[in-house]
Chains A and B, each alone.
Chain A
Amino acid sequence: MVECLAREFGYELIEMNASDFRRSRDIDRVAIKSSDKLSLDGRKKIILMDEVDGIYEKIDAGAIDAILRLIEETKFPIIMTANDPWANQLRSLRENVLMIGLKKLGKREILEILRRICVAENIICKEDALEYIYNLSSGDLRSAINDLQAVAEGFGKVDLDLTKTILRRRDRELDPFETLRNIFGSKYAWQAKNAITNTSLDRDMLLEWLNENLPNQIQDPEDLWRAYENLAKATIYTSRIIRTGDWDLLSYAIDLMGPGIAFAIKNNEKDKWRWVKYSFPERIRELSKTKETREILNSIASIIGAREHISRLRAKTDVIPFLRIIFQHNTDLAAKMALSYGLTDHMIKILAGEKSSEILRKIKEYQTFIQKISHEKEREHEKREEKIEKEKKTKKEVKKEEKISGQTGLDKWWRR
C-alpha cells in the first residue's frame, strides 16, 4: 500500500525494516540525512518504517526516541507499519501519529486476489489447490502469493497434488526432548546449530534444560567438565549481549551451546547416543517451590537495605548472615531488634529457626512492657493536664478576685 502511495504521488520511497539495525544512531544516520534533502532526481520522499513493533529497547537502544525526533524534524511524510500497534514500546509513538488499522484479509478476499493473479499470469489453477494455499497462509496474503508463485513458476499449473508435495508447513519446532537429543547426538556442527534454531524453547529455557541435563547424558568427568565449560562460556556471550545490546555475539553463544556441547563428548563417545530420560530444569521448580521463603527473605532485605543504604542483594549477603547468628544465639537482643525493625513473625521464623518461638514470647513481654510504660506516661500526662486545669481555674478565680478588688488588680495585670 505504501508503495502504491509513493508511486501515485511520485515520491521516492525510503525504507527501513526489521532486518536493518535500528539503534538510534542508525535511524539518525539513514533517516535524518535523507529527510531534509530532496532525492537526486529532485523528487520528494516518503519514509517507510516497516514493522516498528519489532523494535526492542534492548537491541535498538533509543530507536523510538530517534523516530520521535525524526517525526518532529522531517519535511516528508513518514509511514510506519506494525503488526501489533499496541506493543508497549510504541506508546509514545502512538500519541504522535495517526493510526490507520488494516483488517486481516478474509478467505474470500485472498482467494479472489490469488485468482486474479492466476488470470493475469496465465496460470491454470484448481480451486481446491488455492484453498490449500489459503489454509497454509492463515490470512497472510504475502505468504499466500509466495506459495502460489513457488508452485506455479516451476510447473505452470497449480493443482492440489502438486501443491501438497511442494508446499509444506513452515519449519516445525522441536520439543525440549528432541532438541537435547539432536544437540548431543550431532555428528556435524550444523546439526547442533539447527537444533538450536528450530527449538521451541526460548534461549534462557534452553540454557536451563542443558544445564539440568548435561550430567544425565554425560558420564565421563572430563567430558562433563568440557561441556559445562562451553555452556558457561555461552552464557558469558549472552550476558555481554544484554549488557551491550550487540546481537552479533549471539552466533558465538549458539556455537558454544550447540556444537560446543556436542563435541565436548570425546572420551566416551557412546554417551552421545545413550538414551536418557531428560528432566525438566529442577532449578525452575526449586525457584517456584521456595518462592514464599525467598519473598520473605527479600522483604527482610528491603527493610535492612533501606535502613543501611544498601541493595537488597548486599543486605542478603553481607548483613542477613550476621542477623541469623544474632537471632539464633541471643534471643533477648533478637527480640529487641525485631521490634526496632518491625519484623513480622514470618521474618523472625526465617532468621531464627527453632529459636523463633522464644523470641516471639519475649517480644510479647516487651510489648506489654512498652504498653505499660505508655499507659503510665498517659496517666502522668493526664495528671499533669489535670494539674494545669486546676491551676488555670485557681488563676481565673484569682483574676476574678482581682477584678472584683479593682484598681490594685489592674495594676498588677499591667505590670505583668
Chain B
Amino acid sequence: MSSEILSQILWTEKYRPRSLKEVVNQREIIARLMKFVEEKNMPHLLFAGPPGVGKTTVALALARDLYGDNYTRYVLETNASDERGIDVIRTKIKEFSRTAVPPGVPFKIVILDEADNMTADAQQALRRLMEMYVETTRFILLANFPSKIIEPIQSRCAVFRFMPLSKEDVVERLRYIADKENVEYDEEALEVIYEISEGDMRKAINILQASAALGKVDVETVYKVVGLAHPKEIREMIQLAFSGKFVEARNKLRKLMIEYGLSGLDVVKQMHREIFSSDLSIPEDIKVTIADYIGEINFRLAEGADEEIQLNALLAKLVLLGNKIGGVSSRKH
C-alpha cells in the first residue's frame, strides 16, 4: 500500500477534461476553438452561459492545448467576483498584459472568470487594455449574464454561447466517473441527479460524490443528499413567516446567509423549491402569487441590490399572505 491511496480530492477537479479533445459537449464551439489552437491565433473571446456548463474548463483546456503542461506560465487567471474593482485591472492584469511575449509563444492569455461581476469603471479600464495590448495578450472573458458586459467589450470579442448540458452528456459522464471510482449505482439515480442539477455538471458531480460517500448511489440517497445540502432553516423560515412571525423568520434568514454563507440567490431558489414541494400546505393559487414575487426578487438580486433587504421584503410578503390564508380558515368556523 502506498500513500497515494490516501489522496482524495473532489471529483470535479479530478475528472476535469485537460484538453479540448476530452470535452464531450459544446461540440461546435470546441471545433472552432481547436481551429484557433491549430493556427496559433485567436481573437478575444467571450464565453457566455449558465454555471457548470464548461466555460472555465474549456478556457483552461484551450490554454493547455496551446502551451502544453506549463501553460500556467503564460496564463493569468482571475475571478472578478473575488476581485471585482478597478485596481485589479490597473495593477495585476495590466502588469501581466504589457510584458513582452516570450519567444516561441504567440501571445499570452488572461482568463477573467465571472466577468459580469466587474464594476462599470473596471470594465472601461479593461476595454482599454484589450485594445492596447492585443498584440501580446488575448482575453477570455467568462460570464453568466453577457448582458452585464458593456457593449464596447462585447464588440471586441468573439462570443460563444454555452448551452446547458444534455441529459445524455451528463449521465454518460456520471457513469464514467462512477465506474472509474468503483461506485455502486442505480441507472435511475444518475437520471435523478441530472434532473436536479439542471444541466450543471459541477453540481451533478458533487451530488454524485456526496451520495457515494453515503453508500450505494440510489434514488433515495440522492434525494437525501440534496435534502442535506439544503439547510432545514429554509423551510423553518418559510413556516415562521407564514405564521406571522416576521422577526423570527428574519433571524433564520440571517443564520442562513451569515453562518452558512449562502448567497441571496441561493436562498431565493431554495425557497422557490420549498414552496412547491408537497411538504408545505399552501393553497395552489397562493403558490403562484409567491412564485411571481420570488421571480421578481431573483431578478433584483441578479442586478446586485442589497440581498437581505430584498429577502426581507419577500418574507414580509409571506407574512401578509399567511395572514390572508389565516383569515380564510377562520371564516370556515
Contact = CB atoms under 8 A, between A and B. Distances in A.
Contacts of B13: 307-308
Contact of B312 (A57, A232, A244, A320): A232
Interface string A311-348: 11110111111111110011001001101110000000
Contacts of B210: 322, 325-326
Contacts of A297: 261
Contacts of B259: 290, 293-294
Interface in B195-220: 202-203, 206-207, 209-210, 213-214
- Kindly state the interface size class of chain A when it binds its partner: 35 or more
Contacts of A238: 305-306
B229 to A, nearest CB: 4
The A interface, classified by DSSP as helix, strand, loop or mixed, is helix
Given A57-B121, A325-B229, A215 B246 contact: yes
Interface in A259-300: 282-283, 286-287, 290, 293-294, 297-298
A211 B113 contact: no
A244 B124 CA distance: 11
Contacts of A330: 213-214
B310 interface: yes
B79 A221 contact: no
A235 B305 contact: yes
Interface stretch (A29-37, A67-75, A147-155, A222-230): A222-230
A38 interface: no
B209 A215 contact: no
B148 to A, nearest CB: 9
11 contacts: A58-B119, A58-B121, A221-B320, A244-B120, A308-B202, A310-B113, A311-B79, A322-B229, A323-B10, A325-B228, A374-B3
Nearest to A246: B120
B258 A286 contact: yes
Given A232-B310, A329-B214, A305 B79 contact: yes
A336 B6 contact: yes
Contacts of B213: 325-326, 329-330, 333
Given A232-B313, A242-B304, A317 B266 contact: yes
Contact of B10 (A245, A311, A319, A374): A319
Contacts of A319: 10, 12, 202, 206
Interface of B: 1-3, 6-10, 12-13, 51-52, 56, 60, 77, 79, 81-82, 86, 113-114, 119-121, 124, 202-203, 206-207, 209-210, 213-214, 225, 228-230, 244, 246-247, 250, 254, 258-259, 261-263, 265-266, 297, 300, 303-306, 308-310, 312-313, 316-317, 319-320, 323
Nearest to A307: B13
B300 A232 contact: yes
Contacts of B8: 333, 336-337, 339-340
B316 A225 contact: yes
A211 B312 contact: yes
A228 B316 contact: yes
B11 to A, nearest CB: 10
B82 A308 contact: no
A139 interface: no
A62 B229 contact: no
Contact of B261 (A222, A308, A320): A320
B124 A61 contact: yes
Given A307-B13, A321-B229, A221 B82 contact: no
A228 B309 contact: yes
Contact of B121 (A61, A224, A225, A304): A61
A236 interface: yes
A240 to B, nearest CB: 8
A309 interface: yes
Nearest to A60: B121
Nearest to A24: B124
A52 interface: no
B27 to A, nearest CB: 22
Contacts of B52: 318
A320 B261 CA distance: 10
B269 to A, nearest CB: 10
A251 B262 CA distance: 32
Given A329-B214, A333-B213, A373-B3, A310 B56 contact: yes
B120 A245 contact: yes
B267 to A, nearest CB: 10
A307 B246 contact: no
B81 to A, nearest CB: 4
A243 B304 contact: yes
A245 B121 contact: yes
B81 A311 contact: yes
A118 interface: no
B2 A373 contact: yes
B217 to A, nearest CB: 13
